[in-house]
Structure 1
Amino acid sequence: MGAVETLTAWPHADHSRFVDVRPHRWHVQEMGQGETVLLLHGASGSTHSWRDVMTDLAKDHHVVAIDLPGHGQTKLGSRHRSSLPLMAQDAQALIDHEGWNIKAIIAHSAGAALGLRLLQTSGGTSPLVAVNPALSPFKGMAGVLFPIAARVVALSPIVAKMIKRRMSGPGQVVSLMETTGSKISPEGLNLYAKLFRSDAHLDGTLLMMAQWKLDGLVADLPRITVPCTFLIGENDKAVPPSSVKESAKRMPDATVLSYPGYGHLLHEEAPGLVADQLRAVLRK
């Protein structure tokens, strides 16, 4: 499957629309009324991961979820703008185009880095609620080899197709989800399987991994003053909980809340918990 827009029976498809803001064709989902909350997924994810959080929050908020460039149903307009600074620029251009007055951001994993950059560059004081935020670069040789490997794969259509075939098998999807430390529903597994069968989604994910560098953000953490609440699944096998706690210690206004028994996909395992934490943050 080439174009991700051919996905059928996608969660909240009746709330989807497409917005052309150069250089990308963005997939946006909106529902509810009230203060606007922006939802940002992580690398290899899409709006589907927020499906239950959206339904909950839409009871009393205007909820906006977007697919990041090259992910899900957002059509990548440039293969050279998947780095953190450029993706932040492009996401801000979308926000400005739509006139969204963002009162809070909920982000997952790598999406938390994007959320922090958006809040930092906008100069606002809106809070960030981050689920298992990935704010630390890989250490040692992994930090060198992983981006290189991703770049090689992204530039090799043959290798990318081999990986796609391997990832899209039912057994492989289950195995991959097990590496997150989370237990998600059969519906969730099926949605990830659909994503991993998409050439465009796989390509966008690999480009993001190849271009994603966090050194600048890590250096800026002590100067990022927006209120942050980090929700950690203690069973997260993808982002070590200890790394999240270390990042929070370097920030002026970051609180860490830990939840035993949950993994990297905490927002899919316990959507009501995440929605209620956002409400608690906005009541402060």
Structure 2
Amino acid sequence: MRWDTDGRHVPHKEWSQFVTAGGLKWHVQIAGPQDAPPLLLIHGTGATTHSFAGLAPLLTPHFRVIIPDLPGHGFTQKLNAPDPDNVARALAALLAELDVQPALILGHSVGAAIAFMLTAGGHVQPQGMISLGGALLPFVGMGKAFPGLAKALFVNPFMPSLFSFSTRFQSMPDLLQRWTGSRSSREQVAHYERLFRNADHTAGALSLMAHWDLDTIERSIAQINCPVLLLHGERDKTVPPSTSHTVAQRLTARGTRAQHHGLPGLGHLAHEEAPERHAHAVDDFARGLGLL
């Protein structure tokens, strides 16, 4: 995507800056008091910083928020072989360049998995993590087929353009609700329409999925020692809501403090549907850690 043509649609673009780190040019948004606890927000596959457009302003009174576009997404340069380890190392390089050590990390979907990889790999030492609809376990009935299917699509050079073209003839509100179980606002739907109709962004999302290793993510759970809050929309059609419950049980069984809360009436994009509710949950969790 090109900033000169698409940047005008970026929510909170006054927060945006471009940073070169780890061999990539990153688009990252930063806002909030300089002396506030740093909070890293990591979006999911196919999204960008826009996913936190409603939530982030509710967090900036208490936190210094750092919100990057993931590699190959939005305005961040693509990463060759974006497997979980490589993405975690690339994001760690960005944090080092920004001289930021997150006190708290919040990740949505695959973003939660990246948060786990960052922490399990020793790249960061947050005082707590928050998972929103975290894609942290192999999907029941899918196993290794999920990244395999994405790879089959990714290696076809025409598929990103074909997918982007095909979305022009489908109702994006219907697609989002069918894929995620969420009822998105008109503004959020417009953002996803622009993203899915951009072949470069679609290719970045497919590349991330094609190189994803759900078994590696699952193994990272055993390396998490900081407190974890797992929030999950009970109408989620993308990641089974039982995933967060299972991960909370595993963390608790090995002595890690973990809380799981199901969110009735919300889907996979729960934080976009109910940002105020999520902001309250983040603030309460941070207070419990002594960060606020």
1:104-143 paired onto structure 2 within 5 Å: 104-120=104-120, 121-122=122-123, 124-140=125-141, 142-143=142-143
Structure 1 residue 265 corresponds to structure 2 residue 269: yes
Q: Is the 8 A contact 1:11 1:48 kept in 2?
A: yes
Deviates more, 1:7-16 or 1:65-74: 7-16
The C-alpha deviation readout for 1:116-139, integer Å capped at 9, x for no partner, is 111222362421111111101234
1:225-236 paired onto structure 2 within 5 Å: 225-236=225-236
1:195, CA displacement in angstroms?
0.6
The C-alpha deviation readout for 1:204-261, integer Å capped at 9, x for no partner, is 1000010001212312323311110011111111111112211211112221011111
Taking the aligned partners of 1:243 and 1:204, their CA distance within structure 2 comes to 25
Taking the aligned partners of 2:80 and 2:250, their CA distance within structure 1 comes to 33
User: Alignment partner of 1:106: what SS?
Assistant: strand
Instruction: Provide the residue aligned with 2:45 in structure 1.
Output: 43
Deviates more, 1:246-255 or 1:183-192: 246-255
Q: Is the 8 A contact 2:25 2:76 kept in 1?
A: yes
Taking a change above 3 Å as real, the CA distance of residues 184 and 276 of structure 1, as seen in their structure-2 partners, is same
Instruction: Provide the residue aligned with 2:5 in structure 1.
Output: 6
Q: Given residue 173 of structure 2, which amino acid in structure 1 is its aligned partner?
A: V
Taking the aligned partners of 1:125 and 1:149, their CA distance within structure 2 comes to 34
Taking a change above 3 Å as real, the CA distance of residues 246 and 40 of structure 1, as seen in their structure-2 partners, is same
1:98, CA displacement in angstroms?
0.6
State the aligned residue count. 279
Runs of 5+ consecutive residues of structure 1 not aligned to the other structure: none
Q: Given residue 80 of structure 2, which amino acid in structure 1 is its aligned partner?
A: R
User: Identity, % of aligned pairs?
Assistant: 33
Taking a change above 3 Å as real, the CA distance of residues 219 and 185 of structure 1, as seen in their structure-2 partners, is same
Q: Is the 8 A contact 2:92 2:124 kept in 1?
A: no
Taking the aligned partners of 2:124 and 2:27, their CA distance within structure 1 comes to 26
Taking a change above 3 Å as real, the CA distance of residues 123 and 165 of structure 1, as seen in their structure-2 partners, is closer
Deviates more, 1:115-124 or 1:101-110: 115-124
Instruction: Provide the residue aligned with 1:182 in structure 2.
Output: 182
The C-alpha deviation readout for 1:174-193, integer Å capped at 9, x for no partner, is 22211211111100000000
Q: Given residue 129 of structure 2, which amino acid in structure 1 is its aligned partner?
A: L
Instruction: Provide the residue aligned with 1:72 in structure 2.
Output: 74
The TM-score normalised by the length of structure 1 is 0.93
User: Alignment partner of 1:29: what SS?
Assistant: strand
Deviates more, 1:154-163 or 1:23-32: 154-163
1:9, CA displacement in angstroms?
2.3
Instruction: Provide the residue aligned with 1:21 in structure 2.
Output: 21
Q: Is the 8 A contact 1:38 1:65 kept in 2?
A: yes
1:268, CA displacement in angstroms?
0.4
Taking the aligned partners of 1:169 and 1:73, their CA distance within structure 2 comes to 25
Deviates more, 1:190-199 or 1:157-166: 157-166
Structure 1 residue 275 corresponds to structure 2 residue 279: yes
Q: Is the 8 A contact 1:4 1:200 kept in 2?
A: no
The C-alpha deviation readout for 1:69-122, integer Å capped at 9, x for no partner, is 00111121x322x11111000000100111012110111011001011112223
1:169, CA displacement in angstroms?
4.0
Taking a change above 3 Å as real, the CA distance of residues 37 and 125 of structure 1, as seen in their structure-2 partners, is closer
The TM-score normalised by the length of structure 2 is 0.90
RMSD: 1.6
Taking the aligned partners of 1:149 and 1:52, their CA distance within structure 2 comes to 32
1:165, CA displacement in angstroms?
1.1
Instruction: Provide the residue aligned with 1:254 in structure 2.
Output: 258
Q: Is the 8 A contact 1:4 1:198 kept in 2?
A: no
Q: Is the 8 A contact 1:53 1:272 kept in 2?
A: yes
Instruction: Provide the residue aligned with 2:164 in structure 1.
Output: 164
Q: Given residue 25 of structure 1, which amino acid in structure 2 is its aligned partner?
A: K
Q: Is the 8 A contact 1:108 1:133 kept in 2?
A: yes
